[in-house]
Structure 1
Amino acid sequence: MKVATLALIITGVAIADGFAQTPDPNAPNPGSGHGIQYLPKELKAPVAPAITAEELKRRQAVEKFNGFAAADPVAKGWDLETNSEFVVFDGNVTILPKGAIIHVPDRYKANVVTKMQGNLMLWPEFVARYPGLVARMDVTMEEVTGTTPFKPERLLAERRRNLIIVGVLNGNPITVSRQTITPQTPPVVTR
């Protein structure tokens, strides 16, 4: 009983102070408090007048369309062929990222080319088919980025194999920083 009396008192006070509105019975959606009847009568709908045929022709004459821009015949940006090296042998070719070849002996210089020549063969198949031509050299991420140089004795041992040496990370060719590769030095002979 006390709760009902208190609610009635609060409602009466709110109505007396103007906080509560009684809905307009003539409004299309009573109780919302907003509707078309609240908009100013001089406000027009946001619609543009329809364009006439003469106006359309005049606009078309002023705004000439000269066609689409011609496509640039030269591709811009990254190009696979310029960012790759190719190793060819027996009519087959494999594609390597530029900088992945660590060493090329003199007798195989003709097998490293800059253009695609022959039938494309994926790297795993190429290295398995021609083990007397190319060899993998496992490299670490530190050696790839140039933070850690190759050990000279490791490079010398790989170069003595007299094969094309390709730097690989997780079995795949990867570009190796030239800072980590020491220039080829003749072996030191001790007596």
Structure 2
Amino acid sequence: MRLARPLMTASAAICGLVLLAPPAAAEVEPGGWNPIVPVPTPSLQERGCGMITGNVFELTCSTASGDQRAEYRYPTYTDVTRQFEGRFRVESMGGTRISLKQTFRDGTGAGAYYMLAVENGGRLYSVHGGTTLGYEGTVGATVRVNTVHEVGVSHRTYINGSRVLAADVPSTSGSYYDKLGAYRTSSGNGPVKVTWGGVKMWQK
């Protein structure tokens, strides 16, 4: 098991960001947002056959059990409204049912709260409940994801700027954090290679 370690060199991260460098885009649900600049530095989580190179996240095995993950874990936020934006591209996928973006509870009741995942073929879905959110996650397609977490009220998801109502989930007060990368769900397996870039955050 490889434990979380500090973020890789700035040059390695920039290489990944350039790969998915987005045009200028405003936050969703505009009004009253304060940009978080710079974006907080994440810690890296590599477990099982998970491997991170800059902003490229891979599961190199087809193992359908155990903890297989390659993820960025961003710092905790508490009782605020937080918006996340990022762009992912599935570069290759020999497996299926891989979580790409997560919102986790921290502290009391810690654990996965919201998970956006992709199946082989491009179907995006919510892990909790299995609801289909779209079919934009095909190999080679760049997908913009925004999540708006109004802590204590609800968590909302936007795909390519459009709100996916089926992804709205209620929220309790407390502490949470964002994660992105490639994570084997309980019913999934690799291999998979995903690039993330263009990460932005706002708060109000």
What TM-score range do you get, normalising by the shorter chain? under 0.3
By relative contact order (CA 8 Å, sep 6+), the higher-ranking structure is 2
Q: TM-score, normalised by structure 1?
A: 0.21
TM value normalised by structure 2: 0.20
Q: Which has the higher strand share?
A: 2
- Compare CA radii of gyration and give the structure with the larger one: 1
